[in-house]
Structure 1
Amino acid sequence: MHGWIVYNGHLRSPKFLGYAKLIQEAAQGKGVSMDIYQNQELLSTLSSHGMDITGVSLKERPDFVIFGDKDILLARQLEAMGIPVFNSAASIEACDHKGLMYQQLASARLPIPQTILGPKIFIKTDDLNLNHLIDEGEKLGFPLIIKEAYGSFGEQVYLVHTKDEMIEKVKEIHNRPFLLQEFISASYGRDVRLNVVGEKVVASMLRYSENDFRANITTGGKMEPYTPSQAEEELAIRASKAIGTAFCGVDLLYDEDEQPVICEVNGNAQIRNIYECTGINVADAMMDYVIERLSKKGNQAL
């Protein structure tokens, strides 16, 4: 069995290549060879003869791909060529656009912060007519959260405390997809990350910050191992199913009654931090899942 690992070559942080190498090492330990490619090394070609992939020094067509990127068209191209992709292009897209993610979680009746999707505004303009959005935002109460639909590692997430701050932030970002969201104040600077693989939570950690409303490690948060309750595990698995991920990181906030609320489902969850925190290498579980899925598919084909 041979696979590819794809990551974004223009994100210069070593964590992205580190993610790919963790998976490659886990695969090697299970007798599976994997090549690592940056997404720009795999170009999708389209013609009247169909679809193909051209790239730098491609050795052989893979049996599967671990897709550690958000290049959705590339993921779709691989799928259209009959190559299993983990996670699927559809689930990557749902995780990538927070508005779509919350729509799918709400459709599954899962606990999420009350959310208002911003209207589509194609251009940067001073002629904004957002009175209704502002009225609805005020109903959420202050402070409230404004999120750009596209963003990672706690970036593009803003805490605003007044109506004027809300208006100014919307004026700043209105030509990009965004949403307004209830602020779960009881969970200020605190969340729990649960890594889900298939239908199992394989690792969990508590993240916290002493000086930021976000608990992300990238924004300065700290971490410690965490043992989730059965209810928390079941919620994380339901969230993963609602989005359609094979593996993901589910982040939980906690309301004033200490009940879990889904903050986000991350389809490209980094696994180095939780490995260092818990000693659990999520890549091992990911590869076990892929091998089992492909084995079942092969048996069905027989």
Structure 2
Amino acid sequence: MKGWLLRNPGKMNDPSIVKIMKVVDENKIDLTVVDPLKIHVICDHEFDGRIYVGDEVMDVPDYVIAAFFTEKNYHTAAVLRMLESVGVLCINSYDCIKNVDDKLLTFQKVAESIDEIYFPKTLLVTEQTDAAFVSRVFEYPVVMKVMHGSKGKGVVLVNTEKEMDNLLNMTTASEMGDEIIIQECIKASTGRDLRVVLCNGKYDNAFVRENKESFRSNLAKGGKIVKYTPPTAVLEAAEKVAELLKINMGSVDFLFGENDTFYLCEANAMPGIAFDLHEMFKNLVKQVENMPKPLWKKRLEKEGKSC
């Protein structure tokens, strides 16, 4: 079974990528590192199983691990859509990455489809948003964050209307290039959250991230991991979110509310490596084996051609 790791070969030092490649080497897994920016996106009714990567011609893989991280743009999105269209299992899919990258979209989809899951009230900041309006809609403190941030970057706690006014003036003047959202602060969850890790959209393991020095629980900000077994209702909620957002391998994070209430915080596609990589690759094999034969293969077989 052939796989591709979609990653710039010059950016292989990410800890998660290092762990993946170690398991790949130890188990002699057929996984080729392919730069997604070099893949030519061609939509062809007569597709014959060949994909052009730079000046090379490569056979279509059985699966790809989409771990390009910083190279998310129209081209790499089109690469994923092309691979999916020819029957390649993409971990994760274009739809998944689109859904989880946009924190507001995540909440909107949940609000539309899953009534029993709570999430913090969220406001999209525009040029029309002023501190007085924020004070009408929220009680302080509130959380202000960039839409596409990760590892706790671009997240601040705002305690007063004056602080909000200063931050809104700064973001308007700086033209940051990313959307900003303001969220209700779930005070009971200050410095901690729950991460439910999913493999093939199903519960794999869970842990709490705790940080006694900051309201942000991220490991990159000094947080620590504590193993935790969530209530069954939370696990079921995580799997519902995963199904809705089309998360194959990733996580759903929750905040701790009052009276044993949990609030959806965000969802992630491949958030570091929080599951057993050996099991991940075994799971990939099963998923590939259970996928339907793509149309192009059926067409070639009908024509008596090999692929």
Q: TM-score, normalised by structure 1?
A: 0.81
RMSD: 3.0
SS of alignment partner, residue 180 of structure 1: strand
Q: Is the 8 A contact 1:113 1:263 kept in 2?
A: yes
1:188 — aligned with what? 190
2:106 — aligned with what? 101
For the structure 1 residues 78 and 300, does the alpha-carbon distance in structure 2 shift closer, same or farther, using more than 3 Å as the test? closer
Matched-pair identity in %: 24
In the TM superposition, residue 200 of structure 1 has moved relative to its aligned partner by 2.4
In the TM superposition, residue 137 of structure 1 has moved relative to its aligned partner by 4.9
In the TM superposition, residue 19 of structure 1 has moved relative to its aligned partner by 4.7
Structure 1: 5+ residue runs without aligned partners? 120-127, 275-279
In the TM superposition, residue 298 of structure 1 has moved relative to its aligned partner by 4.5
For the structure 1 residues 219 and 204, does the alpha-carbon distance in structure 2 shift closer, same or farther, using more than 3 Å as the test? same
Q: Is the 8 A contact 2:43 2:82 kept in 1?
A: no
1:161 — aligned with what? 159
Radius of gyration: which is bigger?
A: 2
Q: TM-score, normalised by structure 2?
A: 0.80
Deviations 1:203-247 (A, max 9, x none): 111110011111110111111211222112111111111211112
1:74 — aligned with what? 79
1:287 — aligned with what? 281
1:112 — aligned with what? 119
In the TM superposition, residue 49 of structure 1 has moved relative to its aligned partner by 9.3
Deviations 1:16-53 (A, max 9, x none): 42254266358x37xx511123444x333458999954
Q: Distance in 2 between matches of 1:251 and 1:56?
A: 42
1:33 — aligned with what? 30
2:21 — aligned with what? 21
> Which residue of the other structure, out of 33, 36, 40, is the alignment partner of 1:44?
40
For the structure 1 residues 300 and 93, does the alpha-carbon distance in structure 2 shift closer, same or farther, using more than 3 Å as the test? closer
In the TM superposition, residue 299 of structure 1 has moved relative to its aligned partner by 7.1
- The yes-or-no answer on 1:129 pairing with 2:128 is yes
Q: Distance in 2 between matches of 1:9 and 1:24?
A: 16
1:253 — aligned with what? 255
Task: Return the letter of the residue paired with 1:101.
Answer: T
2:146 — aligned with what? 148
For the structure 1 residues 82 and 200, does the alpha-carbon distance in structure 2 shift closer, same or farther, using more than 3 Å as the test? closer
- The yes-or-no answer on 1:239 pairing with 2:241 is yes
For the structure 1 residues 296 and 137, does the alpha-carbon distance in structure 2 shift closer, same or farther, using more than 3 Å as the test? farther
Higher mean displacement: 72-81 or 91-100: 72-81
Q: Distance in 2 between matches of 1:171 and 1:49?
A: 52
Higher mean displacement: 14-23 or 81-90: 14-23
> Would you say how many aligned residue pairs link Structure 1 and Structure 2?
281
Q: Is the 8 A contact 2:197 2:206 kept in 1?
A: yes
For the structure 1 residues 139 and 247, does the alpha-carbon distance in structure 2 shift closer, same or farther, using more than 3 Å as the test? same
For the structure 1 residues 288 and 49, does the alpha-carbon distance in structure 2 shift closer, same or farther, using more than 3 Å as the test? closer
In the TM superposition, residue 67 of structure 1 has moved relative to its aligned partner by 1.0
Structure 2: 5+ residue runs without aligned partners? 299-307
Q: Distance in 2 between matches of 1:222 and 1:62?
A: 38
For the structure 1 residues 111 and 50, does the alpha-carbon distance in structure 2 shift closer, same or farther, using more than 3 Å as the test? farther
Q: Distance in 2 between matches of 1:222 and 1:38?
A: 33
1:125 — aligned with what? none
2:209 — aligned with what? 207
> Which residue of the other structure, out of 167, 170, 184, is the alignment partner of 2:168?
170
For the structure 1 residues 211 and 138, does the alpha-carbon distance in structure 2 shift closer, same or farther, using more than 3 Å as the test? farther
